[in-house]
Chains A and B, each alone.
Chain A
Amino acid sequence: MKKSVLVVLFLLSSSLAFAEGQFDFSGYLKNEIGIRLQDFNGDLQKFKNIAEVAGEYKVKEDIVLFAKVKYWYDLMYDFRSQYDKGQDAMGHIQRTDWLRDCYLDYTNGAWFLRLGKQQVAWGQADGITILDRVNPVDLSEYWLQDFVDMRIPLWMANVNYAPKLNSNLQILIIPDFEQSTSAPIGAPFTTYAYTRYDNWKESMKRIGGSVDENVYFPAKKFENSTFGLQWSDRIGDLDYTLNFLDGYYYSARNTTIGLGGVRFKVDRAFKRWQMYGSSFNKTFTNPGLMQGITLRGDLALYKHEPTYIGDPVTASAKEIKRWDNVFWLIGADKYVATNWLLSFQFAQYILDEAKAKDNTRPVQQQYPMNPFTYGPADQVENIFSVKVSTDFMNERLKPEVMWSFTDDNQGRISPKVTYEIKDNLWFTCGIHYFYGDLLDSNGQYREQGQFYTQLKYTF
């Protein structure tokens, strides 16, 4: 109800604004085509048409309303019968997801308030969410979309106070809750874990069994809100933040309970967790070998992070441990040879334990599992990424290649080229090539490599 009132208020205000010339808007129409690379047989993975419009209205110099709406429709699910199971979730935008932003900004001296549906991004990592955990994410296309499209916006109060120049205290109160989403069965980027689970469920049904699924969302109470805190400041020429987040983990974890025979109950529950973290960045501006290099980093302690424990060999999760895991990253960026930008990142995701300290189960059922695949998870996962970008033709043609990989010989290589046809017409084409073991995060999509094109008209 409250949300509806805000939306109506915004729309009313916008119509008034238009009359007064205080209204600004822009948007785009975009077509995205994805073709499966495997065997080069022209399998369509998507044929998505997107429309997005954003507008802002300055009520006064210190009060601004902003909203962004988006709609998309994926034609592929209409004419590819093999994807029928994903039609409902992947064919068009879901529920209220069309409303991407809807908030009011209020500025008063050192205070800045942003109230409404929005997304908040923390941290310095590029393409990896270490501190960037305020909003849930939509992984229906794995991690291939822009982050602004991947984050699921939430209704929240975002309160900021700047006690001195270059510092800021941010307080987030998020009564809204949405779960992170992944691709449904029947989509190109369905996780292997979900596929294995679905196969098991179907096999149970085939032999006359049953699997009852129950999802337990956090009750709509204020104490179930997510709370966030970020302090940002500078020491010399080093920017840093201190972060804290306390809320429900956005991905539910399954607990399977046998009811006798081939009858099962699967409870999907959301667990509360906390994140303590910090980030920094620094550009070396003084003369010397390091001049021109930007160093950046994130560090997070995930307190009570729900972690699957079980038998990765049989893809059988036995329980959920609330471990204290650590995720950190360091990155460096530098221009070389006139206009080539090199970016390098190294990250480690460190689990609390290599094996659960629990002797009540057989040893093979005590291992941490990869939530994407139900495969084995290393206690220390080393992650690398390299990005190289440049430009030609007076920066009209912009090639870029990104390679991310881990020490398990799995990864993704994504080259792309963007060409500015006109000011308002941009074309992009590229490839996502996945490799690795089927039980690894990237390897699970090794047969879903994609050639894609994007044509975007802006206004």
Chain B
Amino acid sequence: MKKLCVAVLSIALLAGYAAAASDLEYFKVYKPTQGMSADEIMKIEYFVKYTEFAHDASFYGKAYFIDKSGSVRERETTRLRITLGRKSDDIAYKDLVMFTAPAQVKGLATLTWTYMDPEKQQDSWLWIPSLKKIRKISVANADDSFMGSDFTIEDILTRRFEDETYSVLSQENFKGYFCDFTKKTYYQDTPCFVIEAKPKRSPWYYSKRILWVDKATGGGIYEEMYDPNGKLFKTIFKKFQAYNVNGKEYPAQELLEGKDLRTGHRTVITNEDIRFDIGISEDQFTEQKLMQSRW
């Protein structure tokens, strides 16, 4: 149960956590430009992925887990997020994710604090309705799949800029991605940087990732993951939508699709009712708030 919630927190966040180590300033919007190195492009990619441009955000999310036979399982969450980037206690973000459906998991809620230090793990607390109790939870292993999804904890939660080495493979127009879930094609002929990312950790469950980074937003719109034998085993697609907030354009992930090519299982995550910089108070992200859960 604990792991489930850590996992779903990840899904819900989409934007994950802790970029850290980047020398980009919080609460600004960055875009990659011609002539940037692979490292510079990837710092922006992580910055966008982890929504470090926004002070706070609220989301309503749905996750669909679809197996090879087409059987679908669903989860719904609402979540709050505050970006702090505070040096005094090293806290980068705080996230609160609450499950709203299905009823079996309704009420489960996870509070996570992410630190700026890339070596430091998150602190997580879980509200367990069947106990009416908060439990501090250990963070699941980075290579673990979560909640039946096709992402690892690392894909969404814990991978940081410092975990890989990068090189620019090319610049090209993305051929487009047909999403099985929405039956639409996205980003056809979109100019991208193509980046190869290799994990420093070895052996590891993947040998490299090939990412297509949108030149317009810095968002990693598509990636291919290769196993230690060099065989493609997973693809991840992300659709970004620009939100105009106080004159700034925030790229937010509205749709995510991950496919495990070995099992035929795929995961789709949609984000709705996305709101940025609405003045969420930090006292929403405390154990005490979790303790007040009703479900």
A and B assemble together? yes
**Chain A contacts to B: CB under 8 angstroms:** 26-28, 54, 56, 64, 66, 101, 105, 107, 112, 114, 119-121, 123-124, 126, 132, 146-148, 151, 160, 162, 165-168, 232, 237, 239, 281-287, 291-294, 296, 333-339, 341, 389, 391, 393-396, 420, 422-424, 426, 456, 458-459
Q: Could you pull out 13 A-B pairs where Cβ atoms are within 8 angstroms?
A: A27-B103, A28-B103, A112-B292, A165-B282, A166-B287, A168-B286, A239-B287, A285-B123, A286-B119, A292-B139, A338-B143, A389-B3, A424-B102
Q: How far is the CB of B202 from chain A (nearest CB, A)?
A: 17
Whether A335 lies near B140 (C-beta < 8 A) is yes
> Chain B residues with Cβ under 8 A from A124's Cβ?
135-136
Q: Does B187 contact A (CB under 8 A)?
A: no
Q: Does B283 contact A (CB under 8 A)?
A: yes
Whether A296 lies near B288 (C-beta < 8 A) is no
Given contacts A162-B283, A165-B286, contact A105 B294 (CB under 8 A): yes
Whether B294 lies near A287 (C-beta < 8 A) is no
Q: How far is the CB of A286 from chain B (nearest CB, A)?
A: 6
Whether A339 lies near B145 (C-beta < 8 A) is yes
Given contacts A237-B123, A294-B136, A423-B102, contact A395 B143 (CB under 8 A): no
Question: Complex Cα distance A359/B103, Å?
Answer: 60
Question: Complex Cα distance A334/B121, Å?
Answer: 13
Question: Complex Cα distance A393/B149, Å?
Answer: 10
Q: How far is the CB of B80 from chain A (nearest CB, A)?
A: 15
Given contacts A283-B121, A335-B138, A456-B104, contact A121 B144 (CB under 8 A): no
Complex interface: stretch among B124-132, B190-198, B220-228, B241-249: B124-132
Given contacts A282-B136, A333-B137, 5 further A-B contacts (CB under 8 A): A121-B131, A283-B137, A339-B141, A423-B104, A424-B102
Q: Does B133 contact A (CB under 8 A)?
A: yes
Q: Pick from B4, B124, B131, B288: contact of A232, CB below 8 A.
A: B288
> Chain B residues with Cβ under 8 A from A232's Cβ?
287-288
Q: How far is the CB of A420 from chain B (nearest CB, A)?
A: 7
> Chain B residues with Cβ under 8 A from A341's Cβ?
2-3, 138
> Chain A residues with Cβ under 8 A from B292's Cβ?
105, 107, 112, 114, 160
Residue of B nearest to A332 (CB): B138
Question: Complex Cα distance A285/B92, Å?
Answer: 14
> Chain A residues with Cβ under 8 A from B286's Cβ?
162, 165-166, 168
Q: Pick from B73, B103, B131: contact of A396, CB below 8 A.
A: B73
Question: Complex Cα distance A341/B218, Å?
Answer: 37
Given contacts A160-B288, A395-B145, contact A292 B138 (CB under 8 A): yes
Question: Complex Cα distance A450/B218, Å?
Answer: 58
> Chain B residues with Cβ under 8 A from A459's Cβ?
103
Whether B136 lies near A394 (C-beta < 8 A) is no
Q: How far is the CB of A237 from chain B (nearest CB, A)?
A: 6
Whether B138 lies near A283 (C-beta < 8 A) is yes
Question: Complex Cα distance A121/B127, Å?
Answer: 11
Whether B136 lies near A285 (C-beta < 8 A) is no
Question: Complex Cα distance A420/B71, Å?
Answer: 12
Question: Complex Cα distance A146/B7, Å?
Answer: 23
Q: Does B161 contact A (CB under 8 A)?
A: no
Q: How far is the CB of A459 from chain B (nearest CB, A)?
A: 6
> Chain B residues with Cβ under 8 A from A107's Cβ?
292
Whether B137 lies near A146 (C-beta < 8 A) is no
> Chain B residues with Cβ under 8 A from A287's Cβ?
119-120
Whether A458 lies near B103 (C-beta < 8 A) is yes
Identify whether the interface residues of B are mostly helix, strand, loop, or mixed: loop
Q: Does B275 contact A (CB under 8 A)?
A: no
Question: Complex Cα distance A402/B124, Å?
Answer: 23
Whether B104 lies near A283 (C-beta < 8 A) is no
Q: Pick from A162, A339, A423, A424: contact of B288, CB below 8 A.
A: A162
Leading 8 A-B pairs by shortest Cβ distance: A394-B148, A458-B103, A281-B136, A26-B103, A423-B102, A395-B148, A285-B121, A168-B288
Residue of B nearest to A161 (CB): B288
Q: Pick from B7, B124, B129, B294: contact of A56, CB below 8 A.
A: B294
Whether B138 lies near A148 (C-beta < 8 A) is no
Whether B104 lies near A458 (C-beta < 8 A) is yes
Q: How far is the CB of A159 from chain B (nearest CB, A)?
A: 12
Question: Complex Cα distance A232/B121, Å?
Answer: 23
Q: Pick from A148, A166, A282, A394: contact of B65, CB below 8 A.
A: A394
> Chain A residues with Cβ under 8 A from B141's Cβ?
292, 335-339
> Chain A residues with Cβ under 8 A from B1's Cβ?
389
Q: How far is the CB of B212 from chain A (nearest CB, A)?
A: 26
> Chain B residues with Cβ under 8 A from A166's Cβ?
286-288
Question: Complex Cα distance A285/B120, Å?
Answer: 5
Q: How far is the CB of A156 from chain B (nearest CB, A)?
A: 14
Residue of A nearest to B281 (CB): A165
Q: How far is the CB of A315 from chain B (nearest CB, A)?
A: 34
Whether A424 lies near B131 (C-beta < 8 A) is no
Proximity bits, B1-24, A CB within 8 Å = 1, else 0? 111100100000000000000000
Q: How far is the CB of B2 from chain A (nearest CB, A)?
A: 6
Whether A283 lies near B102 (C-beta < 8 A) is no
Question: Complex Cα distance A337/B143, Å?
Answer: 9
Q: How far is the CB of A287 from chain B (nearest CB, A)?
A: 5
Q: Pick from B73, B138, B148: contact of A333, CB below 8 A.
A: B138
Q: How far is the CB of B113 from chain A (nearest CB, A)?
A: 9
Whether B132 lies near A147 (C-beta < 8 A) is yes
Q: Pick from A121, A167, A394: contact of B133, CB below 8 A.
A: A121
Whether A335 lies near B103 (C-beta < 8 A) is no
Residue of A nearest to B119 (CB): A287
> Chain B residues with Cβ under 8 A from A424's Cβ?
102-104
Whether B104 lies near A334 (C-beta < 8 A) is no
Question: Complex Cα distance A423/B72, Å?
Answer: 8
Max chain B Cβ within 10 angstroms of own Cβ: one of A148, A336, A423: A423
Whether B148 lies near A396 (C-beta < 8 A) is yes
Question: Complex Cα distance A283/B144, Å?
Answer: 19
